[in-house]
Amino acid sequence: MKELNIKQDIRKFTKKELTEFFVGIKESKFRAKQVYEWLWKKSATSFEQMTNLSKKLRTVLNEHFDIRPITEDFVQHSNDGTIKTRFRLHDGHLIESVLIPVPSQDRYTVCISSQVGCSLSCTFCATGKMKRLRNLDAAEIYDQVVAVNKQCQEKFEHPITNIVYMGMGEPLLAYRPVKDSIDLITSKEGLDMAARRLTVSTAGIAKMIRKMADDGMRVNLALSLHAADDVKRNEIMPINNQNNLATLTEALQYFYHNTKDSKITFEYITFRDFNDTLDDARNLLKLCRKVPTAKVNIIEYNPVDGVEFEKSQSFQIDKFARFLSNNRVAVTVRRSRGKDIDAACGQLANKE
């Protein structure tokens, strides 16, 4: 059991460790279940909210433990209904989450962050220009979902329907807290959301994709691809130097064969005169044929200060998508949401 000589974040304790604590102070084991439910199912932010515990026990908990929730720092509303929220962590660091509502499809998606900043330095991404300061812990990831879900219900009278780990940071470089947060979100003791409603997006770390499969993570997987040949991908995504397309393809095949109910998507931002030609589409088609059931999301490029890439022309995007569709690849063209508040793909950088 963890040492209790100083206050610790109680949400880093497992239910077993909480049980050991209560037994150690001559309390019933049942108290661990009660506290655990307050922390996760009810998202309590203070021990005073735990009203089915005696005042004396709440005082004891307060002497030993902290609860360190994230707090809302700044909210921006886009003309298209998208809402970006900047949250402050207990140590002062800032992260961003985005609510993307599509009422016509009864779809309300929250895009959440897994790191403060990012270390991958993708050339087209605002977050990639920031330093990675630290990983979030599972509770900080979980809190984003809880806070944005409340926001969604207040604004749209509807709970969130989908969660995407596509905000700030690389989720597979924060693997343990990301996995723990997924376990909590999908647990009946937490938010009890179906795993098929969750998508983890990665820039491509082959060994961690394999680990997801080995750990039985049944969430959907999105690979931020953006180029279907190694030369171009190396140019815009340094991670490709250590995780080339052949290695990633093998990892995706492994993931598919071990989690056949999970969906695999290639996320593909089109850049004008760089990766939007029919030759690029043919390369992407070859890759899709190697990964069973893979679909493609084509994403408009969103301007980032100091980046020279330009958005592909609409007719070129449509031609690119039509080629894939005509070759029996499931493809969606995603028009950007929240560009006017820097909430679109690749724009999260804690700007006001």
**Lookup: tokens for 174:** 């924060």
In 104-238, where do the E strands start and end? Answer: 107-111, 115-116, 134-135, 162-165, 198-202, 220-224
Dist CA 313 CA 315 (whole Å): 6
CA separation, residue 319 to residues 266, 277, 280, 283, 325 (Å): 18, 9, 12, 15, 10
Q: Are 338 and 100 in contact (CB under 8 A)?
A: yes
CB within 8 A of 159, min separation 6: which ones? 108, 149, 152, 153
Give me the phi and psi of 258, to 5 degrees please: -100, -15
Q: Which of 56, 55, 64, 52 is nearest to 20 (CA)?
A: 64
Residue 3, Cβ neighbours under 10 Å: how many? Answer: 6
Q: Is 193 exposed, middle or buried (0-12, 13-18, 19+ CB in 10 A)?
A: buried
Active site residues: 96, 345
In the numeric block, the tokens 């599509």 are attached to: 102
CA separation, residue 349 to residues 179, 314, 321 (Å): 24, 27, 29
Angle, nearest 10°, between helix axes 138-156 and 175-186?
50
Q: Which of 338, 266, 345, 350 is nearest to 301 (CA)?
A: 345
In the chain, where do the E strands start and end? Answer: 8-9, 65-66, 71-77, 83-88, 94-102, 107-111, 115-116, 134-135, 162-165, 198-202, 220-224, 264-270, 295-300, 331-334
